[in-house]
Structure 1
Amino acid sequence: MRIHTEYPEALLPQLYAPVPAHFNSSDVLCDCLAHVYGNAADHPDRKRHYPSDMSDEEWAAVRPLLPVPAWLEGRGGQPEGYCHRQMLDAIRYLVAGGISWRSMPVDFPAWARVYAFFRRWRENELIAEFHDRLRENVRKREGREAEPSAGIIDAQSVKAAASVPAASRGYDGGKQVNGRKRHVITDCLGLILVVAVTAANIGDREAAVSLLARLRNLHRDITLIWADGGYTGGLIDWCREKLALTLEIVKRTDDMEGFVVLPRRWVVERTLSWLMHSRRLARDYETLPATSEAMILFSMITRMGRRLARPRAAVRH
């Protein structure tokens, strides 16, 4: 097996494919780095026929944003033997369909290979890196700055499967849910900025302390956070004094009955409903909270990739 290694090392941290593709096999059409420089050409391609598969337009939009593999930057490891596009399609299929790892369809790489790819990306924080690059591009496409200046915080309790250990699950008395809780902060487009998964008995204010601290470290331009009544109390003063953040509470009034769209809060509530469209997220199946967070990010990665591949709306004059 010949491995193509002629590439400018200075460009690797910025670009997924630093030079035009020169495939190891003339029979391969995919231009992922595992095909161009790795050993993926040894394995056959697959026909894309699942709803979760990336279209060619979507692959073209997300491919430049993929993290560069460590082995291609000379940071250890051997060249990968499976197509990156196939791996991403397999994980998207799992998240969208809610299947178990061992139930991976046979036209994808073996489930153990797909899981190893997912775990490696999770442990090296490549899922978050890929997600954040997509979010920045979606914001720019919508005419926004890459970094947001405001956000919305909320939480969602979901039931946990038997695979979730007792140490990381709890009972949410308010929602009457035995499981885990997802704490998210989104921008004004509903795109996730930070996410944390805890036991369901962890209070919103308690989890918000570490979540908001992470937000401040990652997004220095944010000055305002909208929240619901569950975040009242000393958290407001703590945000102002410790993080230089304004925490603004958007409350329901006493004369509101039934479902009411509340200013700003509806954005994060819509994001939480988006997550429930992915069947893997309808219930928490993951042993590790970090894996649950990665599944949430992959659900958003799929949504943002499709958004980038969507044709731009015509401008009316």
Structure 2
Amino acid sequence: AFTQRKTSRKPTVRTPFFLILDAIIFIDVSGCQWRLLPKEYPKWQTVYYYFRRWGAMDAFAEIEDSLVEAVRLRRGESPQPTIGAIDSESSRSALPRSQKGIDGNKKVKGVKRNIITDKDGDILEASTTPANIHDSKSAYAILAMLVVAFPWIKRIYADRGYRGNFIEKARHDFEIDVEITHSNYSGQFVPAKKRWVVERTFAWLENFRRLCRNCEETTESANEMLLLIF
């Protein structure tokens, strides 16, 4: 007669996804290594697995888009922004084997972070490339992603690094006007009108030790860490 074989395997206990997300944010804020994750969090292998999996699914970008809309509604604003500001910053690489390039203008060997924010400084779209990629080239790709998530964008404020064919391509391909603003520098720092919010957002990144230098091997992973600042 057939008898069912008994097993002593214990039932699987699922780790709450919120706790995993909290652990990933802890990595981004503290800058600690994955293997040094505190014991109150799940095993670092589990946390890293979901970090890579959610990144491949663009989950962080979707969460950020939803949070931006919610924050704008709470402020009494339209959930869909119509204007934005674009800029980039170069970050030195902390790993010898990571994807990187040399920003000849700023003398930085690492990656370049490109972001578009709304008028309040909240990130609408972001991309990370090797630092040798020119701003105007990476801006076209990030603008293409922006119009998918926020199709009501009609005007983008940028600095002089985005002059040239990019302005015409943005108007022709996406019907977005790119306005170049000047800082009017006269011996001391003067915030550029309507574009200063993106500079402030870059200053906020200093609160995340993982972003002070690029600690990721790939630009995809580096961009996922950038999107986590929601």
Same-fold call, TM cutoff 0.5: yes
Is residue 35–residue 44 contact of structure 2 (8 Å, CA) maintained in 1?
Answer: yes
For the pair 1:203 / 2:134, whether they are aligned, the reply is: yes
Could you say which structure has the higher strand fraction?
2
Distance in 2 between residues matched to 1:205 and 1:272, nearest whole Å? 19
Question: How many Å apart are 1:164 and its aligned residue?
Answer: 4.4
Distance in 2 between residues matched to 1:258 and 1:216, nearest whole Å? 36
SS in 2 for 1:299: coil
SS in 1 for 2:141: helix
Distance in 2 between residues matched to 1:272 and 1:250, nearest whole Å? 18
Number of residue pairs matched? 220
Distance in 2 between residues matched to 1:100 and 1:134, nearest whole Å? 27
For the pair 1:170 / 2:115, whether they are aligned, the reply is: no
Question: How many Å apart are 1:85 and its aligned residue?
Answer: 2.5
Distance in 2 between residues matched to 1:159 and 1:90, nearest whole Å? 25
For the pair 1:261 / 2:194, whether they are aligned, the reply is: no
Give the alignment's TM-score, normalised by structure 2: 0.91
Is residue 164–residue 284 contact of structure 1 (8 Å, CA) maintained in 2?
Answer: no
Residue 84 of structure 2 is matched in structure 1 by 151
For the pair 1:280 / 2:210, whether they are aligned, the reply is: yes
Give the alignment's TM-score, normalised by structure 1: 0.67
Distance in 2 between residues matched to 1:207 and 1:125, nearest whole Å? 19
For the pair 1:242 / 2:173, whether they are aligned, the reply is: yes
RCO greater where, 1 or 2, for CA within 8 Å and sep 6 or more? 2
The within-5 A match list for 1:107-122 is: 107-122=40-55
SS in 2 for 1:82: coil
Question: How many Å apart are 1:125 and its aligned residue?
Answer: 1.5
Distance in 2 between residues matched to 1:163 and 1:87, nearest whole Å? 28
Q: State the one-letter code of the partner of 1:227.
A: A
SS in 2 for 1:240: helix
Q: State the one-letter code of the partner of 2:75.
A: E
Is residue 163–residue 285 contact of structure 1 (8 Å, CA) maintained in 2?
Answer: no
In the TM superposition, structure 1's runs of 4+ consecutive aligned residues that sit over 4 Å from their partners are none
Residue 7 of structure 2 is matched in structure 1 by none
Residue 71 of structure 2 is matched in structure 1 by 138
Question: How many Å apart are 1:217 and its aligned residue?
Answer: 2.4
Distance in 2 between residues matched to 1:214 and 1:126, nearest whole Å? 15
Is residue 65–residue 149 contact of structure 2 (8 Å, CA) maintained in 1?
Answer: no
Distance in 2 between residues matched to 1:159 and 1:193, nearest whole Å? 24
Question: How many Å apart are 1:241 and its aligned residue?
Answer: 1.6
For the pair 1:297 / 2:227, whether they are aligned, the reply is: yes
Q: State the one-letter code of the partner of 2:157.
A: W
Q: State the one-letter code of the partner of 1:260.
A: V
For the pair 1:221 / 2:152, whether they are aligned, the reply is: yes
Deviations for 1:157-205, whole angstroms, at most 9, x for unmatched residues? 000112543xx31111111111000000011111111111001111111
Question: How many Å apart are 1:97 and its aligned residue?
Answer: 0.3
Question: How many Å apart are 1:150 and its aligned residue?
Answer: 0.6
**CA-atom RMSD, angstroms?**
1.5
Is residue 85–residue 119 contact of structure 2 (8 Å, CA) maintained in 1?
Answer: yes
Residue 232 of structure 1 is matched in structure 2 by 163
Is residue 183–residue 193 contact of structure 2 (8 Å, CA) maintained in 1?
Answer: no
Residue identity over aligned pairs, in percent, reads 38
Q: State the one-letter code of the partner of 2:193.
A: P
Question: How many Å apart are 1:102 and its aligned residue?
Answer: 0.8
Unmatched 5+ stretches in structure 2: 1-10
